[in-house]
Amino acid sequence: MKDWMKMAGIRSSEITDEAAFKQRRTLIQAAMAAGVTGAIGAEAHAATKPLSQAIQKSEFSTDEELTSEETATTYNNFYELGTDKGDPVKNADKLVTKPWSLIIDGECDNPGTFTIEDILKPHAVEERIYRLRCVEAWSMVIPWNGFPLADLLKRFKPNSKAKYVAFETTSDDRLPGLGSRVLDWPYREGLRIDEAMHPLTMMAMGMYGNEIPNQNGAPLRLVVPWKYGYKSIKSIVRISFTEKQPPTSWNLAAPHEYGFFSNVNPEVSHPRWSQAKERRLSGETSGLAALFSAKVETKFMNGYGDEVGGLYSDMDLTKFF
C-alpha cells in the first residue's frame, strides 16, 4: 500500500478517512438521486419565489465565493424529510407551510400565537453571506435573507428570568422522517440568551434572494454562523424563553458527541473524526463535482471568533463544547 502511494505521488495525509469516505459516498448518492444533470435542482428552484421585500446589504457578509444555489438546495440535513442528503429535496412537498403559526411562551411579557405574516411584517430584510459549517466536516457559503433574531425576541419582552431561548421544529405527521427513531421528536434546539441576542444571529426566511425552500427550513429558520449547522434549527413553530438550559435534540441523543454549545472548534474533535479540516462546497460546482471541492483548514468559531469569542472568555471550551 505504501509503495503504491509513493509511486502515485500520494501522501498518507491525503488519504480519505473512513468517516469522510462515507460522507462522500452519501453525496454521490444524493447527486445521483438529483439526476446529476440537475433535474431535482431545477425542480427545487422552480418551487421557490423571489422575495417580495426589498433586500438590504449587510455589513456582516463574508466576501468568500458562494456555494452554488443548486448544491445548497439539494444537499441538505433535514431529518424530518429523510436522513439521506438527497431526501429533503425529494420529500420537500410533504412539508406544508401555509398556514403557519409560531408560539411564543415562557419567561416573557408578550407571549402568544402569531401567524408567519405577523412575525415577518415589521422586519427589514437583509442579505447576509454566512458560512455554514456542518459537523460532518463540510461547509457552504450561502447568502441568507432575513433579520437579526434579537429584533424579533425584543418584541416579546423577555423578563429577568429568561436566561436561554429554546426552539422547536414542526412535527407534522405528514413528514416522512418522523417514523424513524434516529431522534426524539420534535427537533429541539437552544441558545443562551446572549448568543440569541448577538447581532450575528439571524432569522432567515430566504436565501439567494428567493423564499427559503422547504428542504432548507421554510418558512422560518435560525442561522447561527459560528456554530455547527445542526444548531441552526429549521421550520420553527415554537420559541420559549427559559430560566434553565433547555434540552436539545442531538445533545439528548449523544451528549458525548454533541455538546449544548456546539461552537465550531478545530481543536475539539468529534469522537469519530477530526474537525480540523472541512470540504468547502463552493463555486458553481454541483452534483458529483462538489465531491472534489478542496479541503480547507477549519477556522475557530467558523471564522467569527473576533465577533463572538468574548461570549465564552471565561469558559473551558473543551468542557463546554
- The answer to whether residue 159 sits within a structural domain is yes
Q: 314 in a domain, yes or no?
A: no
Tell me the C-alpha distance between 89 and 81, whole Å.
8
CA 81 to CA 94: how far, in whole Å? 8
For cell 427513531, the residue is: 181
Decide if 9 is inside a domain.
no
For residue 303, being part of any structural domain is answered with yes
Residue 320 lies in a domain: no
Q: In whole angstroms, give the CA distance from residue 11 to residue 9.
A: 7
Per-residue pLDDT, averaged over 128-139, amounts to: 96
The phi-psi region of residue 262 (left if phi > 0; otherwise alpha if psi is between -120 and 50; otherwise beta) is left
What are 68-125's pLDDT values in tens digits?
999 999 999 999 999 999 999 999 999 999 999 999 999 999 999 999 999 999 999 9
Number of domains in the chain: 1
Domain range enclosing 42: 15-308
- With b for 16 or more beta-carbon neighbours within 10 A and e for fewer, the 83-97 pattern comes to eebbbbbbbbebbeb
H/E element holding 203? Answer: strand 202-207
What is the predicted pLDDT for the residue at 58?
95
Give me the helices (H) in 107-248, please. 116-120, 149-154, 193-196
Q: Per residue in 229-280, pLDDT tens?
A: 999 999 999 999 999 999 999 999 999 999 999 999 999 999 999 999 999 9
Q: What would the mean pLDDT of 20-49 be, rounded to a whole number?
A: 47
What SS3 class is residue 159?
coil
CATH number of the CATH domain containing 58: 3.90.420.10
Q: Answer whether residue 69 is part of any domain.
A: yes
119-147 average pLDDT score: 96
Per-chain mean pLDDT for the chain: 87
Which residues have a Cβ under 8 Å from the Cβ of 304 and sit 6 or more positions away? 200, 225, 226
Q: Are 98 and 231 in contact (CB under 8 A)?
A: no
* CB contact at 8 A, 290 and 71: yes
Confirm whether 10 is domain-assigned: no
Helical segments of 203-316, H only: 249-253, 305-308
282 confidence band (pLDDT: 50, 70, 90) = confident
Question: Which range (16-25, 219-228, 237-246) has the least confidence?
Answer: 16-25
Position 1 in a domain: no
Nearest by Cα to 140 from 83, 190, 206, 73:
73
Question: What is the Rg, in whole angstroms, of the alpha carbon atoms belonging to the chain?
Answer: 19
Residue 22 has pLDDT above 80, yes or no: no
Residue 25's identity, in one-letter code, is R
Q: For the whole model, what pTM was predicted? A: 0.87
Q: Which of 295, 286, 310 is nearest to 86 (CA)?
A: 286
Rounded Cα distance, 298 and 281, in Å: 13
| Terminal-to-terminal C-alpha distance of the chain | 37
